[in-house]
Structure 1
Amino acid sequence: METSHQMLAECRYRRRVWDLTVTWLAQPNLRPNAWRPSSNALEWWTSITTTPDSPRKALRSLTLLIMWEVWKERNARIFNRHETSPTTLMAKIKDEASAWLLAGAKDLALLLARK
């Protein structure tokens, strides 16, 4: 049985999505090989989103968005037998982040403006 951490972060596909996020935002703490071992998803999430170099609220919002999109991709694969590439999923994440900016996500705007 998959743990929540495995579902959100540990497979090769999901690691590629996180690597694409690092490239997009220049946030090295989001690179999977930089993650500290964790015993659960909350510990992992707190660890990767706590950095002195980035606005915490923005980084946490963005990682939740990524996890949500990864979860939806997982469900599409399991229940609908529909797969997208990591780059296609990354494009969806960027589009959704842009929608969040239009909706007034000020902290996220600060993070995305740094890229």
Structure 2
Amino acid sequence: ETSDHLLLCCPFSRGLWFQLFHRLGWSSISPSIQDQWLVAWWTQARKRIHKEERRCFDTMVILVRWMIWKERNNRTFDRTTRTLQEVLVRVVDEIVAWFRTGFSKL
């Protein structure tokens, strides 16, 4: 298991990226089956985003990576599994928490 596979290529991760970006109106930049390298996809995708939205996009990428990593650790060490929808809810909850703490540029 490589980090690129875990964070970008596996079906669970791809589904999470797609559903979140669909909600944000960024469906066109969701990782596709051809995207194999996280940094390469991220670099190309952010070029397709309006300059004013890039900070938000970068923050979303970091947040989703973190949430995927936490889910992986929960599965590995705690033997708990959440559905894609449950993880998506956690991501959205985290976004709301960031807003409440003053991260208004998200």
Could you tell me the TM-score, scaled by structure 2's length?
A: 0.85
Give 4+ residue runs of structure 1 displaced > 3 Å after superposition.
Answer: 35-38
Question: Equivalent residue for 1:3?
Answer: 2
Q: CA deviation at 1:26?
A: 1.2
How many residues align? The count is 105
Matches for 1:11-50 after TM superposition, within 5 Å: 11-33=10-32, 37=35, 40-50=37-47
Matches for 1:56-71 after TM superposition, within 5 Å: 56-71=54-69
1: CA distance, partners of 2:15 / 2:35: 18
**Unaligned runs of at least 5 residues, structure 2:** none
2:95 to 89, 94, 97: 97
Could you tell me the TM-score, scaled by structure 1's length?
A: 0.79
1: CA distance, partners of 2:34 / 2:53: 20
**Unaligned runs of at least 5 residues, structure 1:** 109-115
CA separation of 1:51 and 1:105: change in aligned 2, threshold 3 A: farther
> Once the two structures are aligned, what percentage of the paired residues are identical?
28
